[in-house]
Amino acid sequence: MGYGFDIVASIAGIGGPWEILAAVGDITQSLQFGPIKVALLVAWVFLCLYCAQRVAFSPLIAPDYKSLASVFCLVFGPLIFAVLAVADLTVKLQEGEITGRDILRYLFGNAFVGRKTLQNRTVRPEDYIELLDSAGKNFFEDIGNKDDQRAADQETLIVTREVVLQGIRGRASDILIDPKGVGAFTVRYRIDGVLHVVREISDDQGKGVVNSIKAISGMDISEKRRALDGSFMARISEGNVFFRVASSGVLGGEKLSLRILNQVTGMLKLDEVGISPEICATIREGLQQPSGMIVICGPTGSGKTTTLYAMLGEIDFFTRNVVTVEDPIEYVLPNVSQIEVNAKANITFANSLRSILRQDPDVICVGEIRDGETADMALQASHTGHLVLATLHSSSNLATLVRMMDLGIKPLMMASALSLVISQRLVRKLCEHCKQPAELDAETIDHLRKQGFDPSKVLAPVGCKKCNQTGYLGRTALVDVMRLDEEIKTILGGNQLSLGELKQKGDSMGRGNLKREGLRKVMAGLTTLDEVKRVVSSLG
C-alpha cells in the first residue's frame, strides 16, 4: 500500500503538469516489478478508466470539455475521482438531497437509502428513467417529509421505476401488476404477445407501487373498486415513452394494467410489419386511390393497429387531409388531426365521424368499427369519395363481410364501397441467435412433402441470453388480402350464398391462405410450425 500513498502524495505535492509527468516517470522507474506493484498498477489503471467513464456522464463538466477531461482522467484518475466525489457530495448537500448523516452512512457502507440517492447522478444511460405525469411534470420530486416516510417512499419509487424500466427494456407491450391473494403481488410482462411472470413483490410494496402509478396517472388513489383509467410518461435516455393505465378492483385487492405506447421505436413501415412484397403492392395501390375502404380484420392482439399505422405512414399528410378517430391514440402523427374516443365525454366513433365529415377530409381512419352506426357511416364516407381505413374484429376476410351484414350493412353497399379486406395474425419470430434445425416426426415430414415444402428447412426454438431463453425474438405478421373483385361483388349483389355458407367458406378460405403464408415463413426460417398452428387454428 505504501507505494499508492507515495504516488498520491508525490503528485499532490507538485504544481505544473510537466513536473507531475516527470514525477510519474520517476516513480515508474523506481518501481521494481513485483506482485504488489503489478496489483497497484492494475488498480491505478482501473481507477483511471473508471474516472474517465464517470466524467463522461458527470453533470459538472460541460460537453465541450468532456474529451479533454477524459484524457486528464486517464492520467490523473484517482485524484480526479476524489475531487468529483467531494464536488458531487457538496452539490447534493446544498440541494438538500442528502444530509450529513447520509454521507456518514455512505462512508461506512450501509446507506441503503443514501446509496441509491447518491447513484442517481451517475446512472448508466440505459438505466436512466424519470416518471412524469401526462403534462410532463416530475411528479415524485418531493414525496414525504419525515425521514422514515421518505425512506419508505424512496424504496417504493425505486421498485416502481425498476418495474417500468425493465418493461421498456424487455420490449414488453403490457405490464400487469396484480395481487396474488396471499400477501404478495406479481408483476408480469407481455412480450411478443406472451405473458411472463417477472417478479413478485411484497404486499406493502405492491400497494405502494400501485398507488404511485395511479397518482402519477392522475387517477383517484382512494377509489379501489371501480375501474379507472389514466396515463403517464417515462423519460428514458432515448426519449419519452407513453403509458396508458387501467385499474380495477379484483379479489384480494387492486389490479393495474399498463399499456406501453412506444414513441421511441416509432411506427413500423408497411414492409417492416412482415407483409410480403406482392401484398404490400396491392395495399399501396389501394392507398393511392382517392376513395374506397380498406378494412383490416383479425382477433385481439393480431397487430391490426400496427398495420393501420403502417398504412397511414404511406400517406402524404401534406397533400391529403387526414383525420383519425382512435381509442386510444397510440402514436402522435404530425399534420394529422387525431381524435380520441372518450365515452365519459360522449366522444364516440360514430359522433366523431359525423363531425369529421364536415371538415372536408381526404382520408379518414377509424380505429375500430364496433357498431352498426359506425360501420354505416364509414361505408357512406367511402361511397361519397373519401378513402377510409378501419379495423374490425373478425376471423377472416369473408367473415368480415358476414360481420358487416350482422352490423346491418346491405350487401350492395359493401360491394360498391369496400375495396380491400386484409386479415392478419401475428406469429413470434425465431431468435436469430439460437435457432436450430427441428426434429420432425414422420407424419409431419410426410404432410409437408405432400404440400410441396422441404421439411429440412424447418427450424426450432432453442433459447439463449438474447431471447431470455424463450427461443423467440420479435413478431411478424401473416397477412391474407382480398380485393373486392367482380366475382365477390356478384356474390354480394346477388345474395347467392346464405350468411352461414359465406362464413364457412370465408373461414376455410382464410385459414388456407393464412396457413400457406405461415408455412412460407416457416420455410424461410422465420418462425415455427407450432406458432403457425397456434394462430391459424384460432380461426376455429
Task: Tell me which residues touch Zn ion (CB under 5 A).
Answer: 431, 433-434, 464, 466-467
| Minimum CB–partner distance for residue 460 and Zn ion (Å) | 12
| Nearest to Zn ion of 406, 432 (CB atom) | 432
Smallest distance from Zn ion to CB 434, Å: 3
Give residues with Cβ within 8 angstroms of 427, minimum separation 6. 475, 476, 478, 518, 521, 527, 531, 532, 534, 535
Write down the least CB distance from residue 436 to Zn ion, Å: 10
Report the alpha-carbon distance of residue 167 to residue 280 in Å, rounded: 32
Is 429 in contact with 474 (CB distance < 8 Å)? yes
Judged by CB, which is closer to Zn ion: 51, or 473? 473
Cell 404477445 sits on residue: 193
* Sheet strand arrangement including 322-326: 337-340, 322-326, 363-369, 387-392, 292-297, 418-430, 472-483
Q: How far is the CB of 429 from Zn ion (least distance, A)?
A: 11
Least distance in Å: CB of 172 to Zn ion?
Answer: 17
* 79 versus 459: smaller Cβ distance to Zn ion: 459
Three-point CA angle 466, 469, 473, nearest 5°: 55
Question: What own/partner pairs with CB < 8 Å and gap ≥ 24 does 339-343 have?
Answer: 341/367
Q: In the bound complex, which residue of the shown chain has the CB atom lying closest to Zn ion?
A: 431
CA separation for the pair 368, 363 (Å, rounded): 15
How many whole angstroms separate alpha carbon 187 and alpha carbon 83?
A: 41
Least Å from the CB of residue 433 to Zn ion = 4
**CA–CA dist 354, 290 (Å, integer):** 20
3-class DSSP state of 239? strand
Which CB, 217 or 528, lies closer to Zn ion? 528
Question: What secondary structure does DSSP assign to 450-486, as a single string?
Answer: HTT--GGG-EE----TTTTTSSEEEEEEEEEEEE--H
Give the Cα-Cα-Cα angle 111, 117, 120 (nearest 5 degrees). Answer: 135
Kindly state the smallest distance separating residue 508's Cβ from Zn ion, in Å.
Answer: 36
**Phi first, then psi: what are they for 11, rounded to 5°?**
-70, -45
- Cβ proximity to Zn ion: between 381 and 434 the closer is 434
Give the nearer residue to Zn ion in terms of CB position, either 398 or 431. Answer: 431
Name the residue nearer to Zn ion (CB basis): 404 or 434: 434
Name which of 78 and 461 has its Cβ closer to Zn ion.
461
Looking at the Cβ atoms of 458 and 467, the one nearer to Zn ion is 467
Least separation in angstroms between residue 275's CB and Zn ion is 25
CA 290 to CA 238: how far, in whole Å? 38
Give me the least distance between CB of 532 and Zn ion, in Å please.
19
